[in-house]
Structure 1
Amino acid sequence: MLKKTIATAVVLAVISSTTSLAATELPAPIKGQMMIPVIVNGLKVLFPDTEPFIDDNGRTMVPVRFVSEKLGGEVKWDAASKVVTITYKSKVITMPLNSNEVSIDGAPITLDTSAVLTEGRTMVPLRFVSEAMEATVVWDEPAHAVQVNDAAFTAKAEAGEVKLDPWGRQLATNSDPAIAKDWKTLTDLPDMAYETIVETVGLADRNNKKYFDVNRNNIFTSRESLDRWSNMIRQYYVTVLNVDYRTINEKTFHDAITPLILDINYSDNLVYYVNLAIIDYVKFVKNNHIITRGYADPEPYLTRQENSLPIIRTHFKFEIIQSDDRTQSILDSYHVSDKSDKIEFKRNTWYTGYSDVKLITTAGNYQEEHMFINVNLENMFLTDQYKYEVLK
């Protein structure tokens, strides 16, 4: 009911703006973090469970096998000695677990961090391993991503043999024509990323291709704007997808998400109902022993337009660890309106998929600088607007 009230109030705000306990063993308290996309030779790496993270030394740590093998390395793990060995061409890199002392071809090297075991995955410092395998590593701060390229790929890109999007990812060359007519397709994305229903019936609606063609070289397709909007989405879902009934705090949760969804031009009535919905959800989390974790990874090159406002196709990865009511564990699925589906997810199972995140504004001018995430609190499960599957 609250979300239906919010939806009605949002419509009025936009119109007016145009004129002016169940588990026996629980994990440590959940702390959310932004997903760190790792792009190796123009292809984003899909990690099946444990995601890269930045450790206490400021180093990006990644599961050793998934990046090393993409650069041509062979990875072996010795469980007895707890040493990971990477063989690259004739080079041998050894990294003992929990030790700063590593070696390349027997020559000792001291690092400022060490390989660690996280959730059953051996995590290693990305920069050291990649550079040891003769690749370059660049941190793309605006995109909150890491680019890892070897010399062969760099030469191909510079020669124009592979085409890249503005974020350094390979454009697909043999896409399904039914998809390619509407979308800018990327080599590393599955077909499911493009499969949800997109209706472009209004004069202010544009599919993904038309969005970039019509807005070519303007602020609405600039990396600056798209990175800003994408980081809003990432930050919002750091809070929304990582909740823990043992630690959730109403004020902290509220203060983390409301700056990303509430425009100062919204009516007091709308703000009241949004605040009420958030308070209600936090109580629900506590009463239903909810623990979830997850990530949102927007695909800015898949932005389209509806009612003159941008919509960003977003990759979601989430897991319901504990919940007495698994149909309403996530804020996006809590007390949904008739525009969203109600789904019961399995416990302790990673789901991956895509949905649209709608942006909205009440600003008449400089809209690109005053976008907010859809205040309806529903993005992930809008009917016909999402695709999810169990991550294997």
Structure 2
Amino acid sequence: MLNITKMLLTVIFITTILTTTFGMTEIPLRVVVNGNKVSFPDAQPFIDENGRTQVPVRFVSEALGAKVDWDGDDKKVTLALNSRTVILTIGKRGYEINSQSYQMDTVAILQDSRTFVPIRFVSEALGASVVWDQATKSVYIKFDPSVPSAPLPTPLAGTVNYYDGIAFNNVTDVDEYGRITVEKSKEFLLKLANQLSFIKENGKYYIKCDYPEIPEGYEWSLGIRIHPKDGASIGYTPITRITDCKIPTDGSFKKEVTYFSNTSNIDFFTIAISINHIEMDNTGILDILYVADGSEKRVEFVPYTSLFPQEEYTDNFDFNRMFQWK
């Protein structure tokens, strides 16, 4: 009899658990601004892997009245409201408020061609107060432009300066050896790659480059090698003894390529770009490969150590803009 009773209790317990589980529905996230529930007609807010609520950046503009600008090349979103300007970069924990550097425990995200931002960090950075209600999965935001905003948090150490639009903090963007950090190096290297091109003018072939500005104490290293279908390859670097192949390390240049009268003989190009500390070398190289017929191409950041992962940018890189020799 005791065993039968135990079995019945077990069946009842399991049935109760299953009924409760299948009866539960996921509570959708709600965002409420000054008492008004915000409607998201298409892209919906969600909680990311760091436990932060991400919302479409358009919400910030419409609900808080902020001006939003998107830089697709550098993947940066800028939000301005009253006296505060907030800059976030997709995939980066570092962000800025009025040119001061701060750190989040999550990142802005590009998902389904939409930009999502962590609502707490953005709202508080713009001067609003934020409360999260776990029971109802609701974010309550209160913003009154007539009331003085809460003081900004203490910024990270260092000073932020801009070099061709790239923010550089002389403390947080430098490693213990004085080199530009891996993450910040990627920004500079991709900037240069987007300002390097192989052009044709009046029947002549040129390598054209506009070096971005960089912080004092660092220098660009650019190596270009053109590989023909037959014969030896030709290299263009700042350190070669061949005058016709020597290129500068700063400023702008347009170098005529005289070794090829017919580009149909070119097999492929290889390019290596780094930004070097004048005494301690670099933290990684941007490696570019392009086969002239377009059958193979690659843009990849290769860090100086395997402690950091390689990162590929091939899918989003504009090879047609760079390689215009036709």
TM-score class, shorter-chain normalisation, is: 0.3 to 0.5
Name whichever structure is richer in strand by fraction.
Answer: 2
TM-score, scaled relative to structure 2 = 0.36
Ranked by relative contact order (alpha carbons within 8 Å, sequence separation 6 or more), the top structure is: 1
Higher share of residues assigned helix: 1
